[in-house]
Chain A
Amino acid sequence: EVQLVESGGDLVQPGGSLRLSCAASGFTFSVYWMDWVRQAPGKGLEWVASIKPDGSEEYYVDSAKGRFTIYRDNAKNSLFLQMNSLTADDTAIYYCVRSLNMDVWGKGTTVTVSS
């Protein structure tokens, strides 16, 4: 079964950092682009970042540039999102998603930025 399982979400203070993880299984992780998509409370979907299969290219939404880093470990079938300088606007459910056409989604992990 194709599966994506996120972890690492937490309550963090403004200005803090957090690392999200996504464990992939049931498919050949190393050949797929991977994404992070977030959803703020009561809001729509917002793409956050994408990474090429070999990790050589990364792309970010403007609000994440310079603060977030997407990376992957193909040997461990894992995707990560390092988030620094967090603000209240980063409060959301973060979804790990397979491929640029977003064919498989995880259940999400919740990040809350609040003092």
Chain B
Amino acid sequence: DVVMTQSPLSLPVTLGQPASISCRSSRSLVYSDGNSYLNWFQQRPGQSPRRLIYKVSNRDSGVPDRFSGSGSGTDFTLKISRVEVEDVGVYYCMAGLYWPPQTFGQGTKVEIK
């Protein structure tokens, strides 16, 4: 099974400052079509998860442009350019290849300092 490892697991940030979350896969997520299949999800307190980014860097509808995804192969990053209060929550990466099983990272908790 592919293993997804996120870091850090806890990320205190100052409002208006940038934040960065790393996700590493135990296997390359590059598919034969040349795309890397890595998704990012946000789970705000008390809410269900929602997908933020698919195929590494594509934002879902309604996702603010302060969120960006990058990376390839086995190393990926989610960046928030300027953290806002509504960004507090837990962020998960998920491999889009080598299922079953579908595998998520452990989650990174973003909180305001």
Contacts and interface: CB of A to CB of B under 8 A. Distances in A.
Nearest to B47: A107
Given A45-B41, A45-B92, A100-B96, A105 B50 contact: yes
Given A47-B103, A50-B99, A108 B54 contact: no
A107 B48 contact: yes
A90 interface: no
A50 B41 CA distance: 18
Interface residues of B, number: 23
Nearest to B6: A44
Contacts, number: 60
A102 B101 contact: no
Contact of A105 (B48, B96, B101, B107): B48
A113 B102 CA distance: 24
Contact of B102 (A44, A50, A105, A106): A50
Contact of A44 (B37, B39, B48, B92): B92
Given A102-B39, A103-B60, A45 B48 contact: no
Contacts of A44: 90, 92, 104-107
A60 B102 CA distance: 10
B99 A102 contact: no
A40 to B, nearest CB: 12
Interface of B: 37, 39, 41, 43, 48-51, 54, 60, 90, 92, 94, 96, 99-107
Interface of A: 35, 37, 44-47, 50, 59-62, 95, 100-108
